[in-house]
A and B are shown apart, each in its own frame.
Chain A
Amino acid sequence: MSTETDTSDMTEGSEPAFGRVSRSKDVAFRWLTLAAALLGIVALAALLANVAVDAVGWLTWDFLTGMPSFSNPYDAGFYPAIVGSIALMLLIALITFPLGVGAAIYLEEYASDGYLTRFIQLNIANLAGVPSVVYGLLGLGLFVGLLNLGFGTLLVAGFTVSLLILPIVIISAQEAIRSVPDSQRQASYGMGATKWQTIRNVILPRAMPGILTGTILALGRAIGETAPLIMIGAPTAVFGVPNSLFSKVSAMPMQIFTWADRPEMEFQYGVVAAGVVTLLVILLSINSIAILIRNRYQRRT
């Protein structure tokens, strides 16, 4: 603020090109921008406080370990949805991690800076912006229709959501690989290492914390996805845990969506609130793991 001009000693003639300098306008604008920056956060905090209060009394051990119900809110349980979400997340991690890291290694370490590379890069950026409901249609047409893997199975849900978060995993893995200093690559080559040895022994270990952070954050995104699951025909409720890749699977957001549809107050303000809190707590734990990895890594370098 040292660069500000005091208006008091200014005469009419020495007015700067920007017009009359107004200190009050400047201060008001500063507060306006701060208010804008806080608005969304405060609104979300207020809503979270509401849902936390509503969940009290509903978020019980019976809720976490019980089977879903649509008739009696006091009997409604979340267990199959929780297990379904976790199983889905593990499957998605198994698919996206190798594919995402492989693609990032190719783009950062092997690909030349030609039209094809730029095209792939642009394509990945665009895929990251495709609406999730469209990925649901892809899953429906390709995995359910063409490959006949069955409506709403764990495998179909896993493949569909994997394709959805793959661009995010690739982009974050690329950033992690790019941040490995080139001098380390040179040193490795200087020792007579091959490209693959350099990637395996030098680049991947260095980039791994960044890659893991990005992947875990993307998995957090995957756990909240609902629309693709609806499209591939995931059941509104399952009454058991998935025991094979071809089991029908539900997930936490799917269960929340179908409960939110119930007109009863006990569902809207009780059961769903408990489900939302459970989902957010699990999501928050996942994201904390990502942040922990990032912080440990940042401290070391």
Chain B
Amino acid sequence: MSTPDFTHNQARSARGVAFKALFALCAFLSILTTVAILATLLYDAVDFFAAVSPVEFFTGTEWVPSNEVYGVWPLISGTLIITIGSAAIALPIGLLTAIYLSEYASERRRAYLKPALEVLAGVPTVVYGYFALVYVTPALDRIVPIGTFNAFSASIMVGIMIIPMVSSISEDAMSAVPDSLRQASYGLGATKFTVSTSVVVPAALSGILSSYILALSRAIGETMIVAIAAGQTPRMADLTDPGGMFLESVQTMTAAMVQIGASDVVGQSTEYKSLFAVGLTLFVITFAMNLFSEWVSSRYREVYR
């Protein structure tokens, strides 16, 4: 809120009110969008749950839409595998990158590195999916026997895509750590390593945590990479073989949606409506994570501002 408008000319303020109303309408459109998302998802999801019991949907361990078997767990399991795989890549690398940018890099180097990192997030995901399928999978196949479609190369690509999300938000948090904390630590004879890992990272922890949650949420919602490279095989994770489950094809929630969306299922079928039930599940999960991340980062803001 800036300076108030002190003018009292009637004709002028009538026009002013009209413009204000117009701009307000634009802003309220965002709320309308959220309502519309919820309404469209719920509208068909309610129909779906009239045909398929929610108990079957949320507890079922088999997803075979062609046979009218709708248990969402294989899709959630596939999504979790990709999320864990990409997190294993993006969270440590993103954090280390943020430490480099915030604590080690010169002003000049940072000016080149930050935009270069942002390119990673700007590459269309269909391109990453293609890279995973055509270059990464054959390269991995030379080391371990791996399927044409597998969770491993998809995870690598999703991980690379979300690195900038972790690094840029974490770096903001680390830059906000007051310099006096660093100076105090140096005064005690600490090295830069100790200052970074024992002072800066703990002090910026809530910002880092918030970037992690946001990145995981992005990984859960990522669609094209997994639809192209991870394949379309809905299956439950075999927990007795943690390494093996990355080597085979999985289907995530988003990939299942693409599969149904790209096929010619018609408007009133249960399969079409299952799209909205899966979409609603995905929306609720990511929305909750985004809110949680917002909450964590707002808590951190209170500390240093």
On A, residues with C-beta under 8 Å from B are: 1, 3-5, 16-19, 21-23, 25-26, 29-30, 32-37, 39-41, 43-44, 47, 50-51, 98-103, 105-113, 119-120, 122-127, 129-138, 140-142, 145-146, 163, 166-167, 170, 182, 185-186, 189, 192-196, 199, 217, 220-221, 223-227, 230-231, 233, 236, 253, 256-257, 260, 268-269, 272, 276, 279-280, 283, 287
Contact = CB atoms under 8 A, between A and B. Distances in A.
B210 to A, nearest CB: 12
Q: What are the 5 tightest A-B residue pairs by CB atom distance, in nearest-first order?
A: A224-B124, A131-B221, A141-B40, A102-B26, A36-B96
Interface string B72-102: 0000000000000000000011001101110
Interface stretch (B2-10, B51-59, B60-68, B237-245): B2-10
B30 A122 contact: no
Interface of B is mostly: helix
Interface of A is mostly: helix
A100 to B, nearest CB: 8
Contact of A279 (B127, B189, B194): B127
16 contacts: A3-B192, A16-B189, A29-B193, A33-B100, A41-B119, A51-B131, A105-B23, A110-B20, A120-B27, A120-B31, A129-B289, A134-B283, A227-B227, A256-B127, A269-B134, A283-B122
B15 A196 contact: yes
B194 A18 contact: yes
B93 A40 contact: yes
A109 B5 CA distance: 11
In this complex, the interface size class of chain B, counting residues with CB under 8 Å from chain A, is 35 or more
Given A30-B104, A256-B127, A102 B41 contact: no
B26 A34 contact: no
B269 interface: no
B120 interface: yes
Contact of A106 (B20, B37, B290): B20
Nearest to A120: B27
A184 to B, nearest CB: 10
Nearest to B6: A189
